[in-house]
Amino acid sequence: MRISTALVAAIGMSCLAIEAARAQDQVSRIDVEDPITKFTELATFSTERGGILEEVPAEGDWIAADELVIRLKSDAARAALKVAEQRAMNEGEILVAEKASESAWLEYRAAVEANRLSPDPNDPAYPETHIARLKLAAESADAQVVQAKEQRRDFELQRDQAKTELESYEVKSRFGGFVTRLLRHQGEGVQQGEPIVEVVNTSVIRVEGHVKVADAYLLRTGMKVHVAAEVPQEEGDPKIIEADGVLGYIDIRVKTFEDVKVWAEIRNESGLLKEGMEGSMYVLLKDAEPSTTKE
């Protein structure tokens, strides 16, 4: 009787799961191998157009979320926006067209009323062709009102376009962080898409490492983790920084050396944890919520 490779693999994985379940009653934590710190929320900012740098931060500056990071010289764009805003606010042509329409209809109605009051219906004050011309003139005046309003809407669209154009001269950060690299400086010319400023959010740091395959079956995202990192000192023993967090990821793949990648995110408000620091990390099993498996 021949047993398929898939069946053998399935049996092997089931055995690992059973072994892990038994081990859970014997251990309270899983140590993570070779943990290392890494910042994950970082961005290198550039502009969507070329120009001259008018404003950039300095290295080490803190940039809040939605705060300006880069501004290009935009004098011409600002002037264009002011002109567009003035045109969009101008109601003069609409008012003139509306008054012209009122006047045309008034003249038409007066002529019609004069003909109605004429003593001799066969001898009206105004011929029918004149009445028709007055009506056409009034309708044309109405069309001028519509045209003036359409033109104003066009001016409003031009204003919005000019505003969007001006906004393209500025870049804002989508998250808070420190400026870690300044690649170009105020007054320099830059091209579209050219890297200018790098910002890193240091308030949260990721700690990555690996666990054995059997241990991975005991882990669930959301479990509490404890991290300890060493900070070298000029004299004496290194300073130990300890922090708690939660397990955020368990890899679905098994690596070459039969281990599984995991990581947790740790609050780093003090900024003491730096990228590339080594230390220790373990996952607390007793604090995990029981998981429910649906078949």
SS3 labels along 93-104: HHHHHHHHHHHH
At position 47, the amino acid (one-letter code) is T
- C-alpha span between 22 and 263 (Å, rounded): 24
- Which pLDDT does position 291 carry in this prediction? 42
Token digits for 185?
A: 């400086």
* Cα–Cα distance for residue pair 110/112, rounded to 1 Å: 5
Amino acid type, 250: I
Of 287, 273, 275, whose CA–CA distance to 228 is shortest?
Answer: 273
| Nearest by Cα to 220 from 19, 57, 14, 20 | 20
Q: How many CB atoms lie within 10 A of CB 171?
A: 19
Q: Residue 139's closest CA among 177, 166, 113, 100?
A: 100
Residue-level pLDDT at 210: 93
Kind plus residue range of the DSSP H or E element containing 36: strand 29-38
Burial class of residue 107 in the structure, from the number of CB atoms within 10 Å of its CB (0-12 exposed, 13-18 middle, 19+ buried): middle
Q: Note the pLDDT of residue 150.
A: 95
Check if the beta carbon of residue 233 is closer than 8 Å to that of residue 239.
yes
* Structure confidence at residue 225 (pLDDT): 94
CA distances from 80 to 88, 162, 235 (A): 12, 7, 62
Q: What is the mean pLDDT of each run of 10 residues along the chain (295 residues)?
A: 48 51 63 93 94 96 95 95 93 93 95 89 88 94 94 95 95 94 95 96 93 91 92 83 92 82 91 88 73 39
Q: What angle do CA 176, 50, 166 make, to 5 degrees?
A: 65
